[in-house]
Amino acid sequence: MSLKNMNVLVMGAGIGIGAAITRRLAQEGANLILLLTHRAQAESGPIDALINNAGLALGAPAAFSDLKIRGVVTMTGTNINGYMLATYAVLNDGGMRERGKGTLLKVTSTTALDDPPFPGESIYHATRRFQEGFTDALRT
Ligand SMILES: NC(=O)c1ccc[n+]([C@@H]2O[C@H](COP(=O)([O-])OP(=O)(O)OC[C@H]3O[C@@H](n4cnc5c(N)ncnc54)[C@H](OP(=O)(O)O)[C@@H]3O)[C@@H](O)[C@H]2O)c1
């Protein structure tokens, strides 16, 4: 797939995997719209691809009952609402639904596919399971 001149929205582009994906997309000639910290309004015209990469794990290996509520809310807000609403934005404001095409690429975790290998990952694991279920349903 040629990425030249595609409009790509990257969530969590500042560091890590998102930054590496962004550099490669730039080399391939994509037009980049980058989310660094605050959520983007898709006002940049049609979006061809979304790299849904922003996410985080907080508090592990602490057990659920020892987690800070602020951390739980940040994790669910980012990994569930952020993930879901970014998808909603590119489908509607980004025009994918109207044009009947577009690419949704998720960066999630293998923890979504199995039971967690250690305790203390309850919320992180559950949010990744949400992403799998949401993506499967959306694909259908
Ligand atoms: N590295 C791993 O071993 C691993 C394993 C499994 C899954 N993952 C997942 O893969 C993705 C990328 O991992 P990484 O290692 O590159 O992580 P990272 O270095 O921690 O980068 C995470 C990115 O997500 C952004 N982000 C976090 N919370 C956000 C929020 N509330 N709103 C907007 N942006 C937010 C950060 O933005 P700022 O720079 O603005 O803070 C950052 O750019 C994440 O979803 C991570 O959970 C990583």
What tens digit of pLDDT does each residue of 84-112 get? 999 998 999 889 999 999 999 999 999 88
User: What pLDDT, on a 0 to 100 scale, did the predictor assign at position 41?
Assistant: 47
Average pLDDT rounded to a whole number, residues 38-54: 76
Is the pLDDT score of 37 beyond 60? no
| Cα within 13 Å of Cα(134), Cβ side | 22
Ligand 1 atom at minimum distance from 36 CA? 40
Is the pLDDT score of 43 beyond 60? no
Q: Could you tell me the domains of the chain? A: 7-139 (3.40.50.720)
More confident residue, 58 or 37: 58
In short, whether 102's Cβ falls inside 6 Å of ligand 1 is: no
How far is the centre of ligand 1, averaged over its atoms, from the C-alpha of 66 (Å)?
A: 23
What is the rounded end-to-end Cα distance, in angstroms, of the chain?
A: 22
Q: What is the DSSP letter of 42?
A: -
The overall average pLDDT reported for the chain is 90
More confident residue, 126 or 14: 126
Under 8 Å between Cβ of 33 and 40: yes
Ligand 1 atom at minimum distance from 57 CA? 47
With vertex at residue 135, the alpha carbon angle to CA 19 and CA 113, rounded to the nearest 5 degrees, is: 85
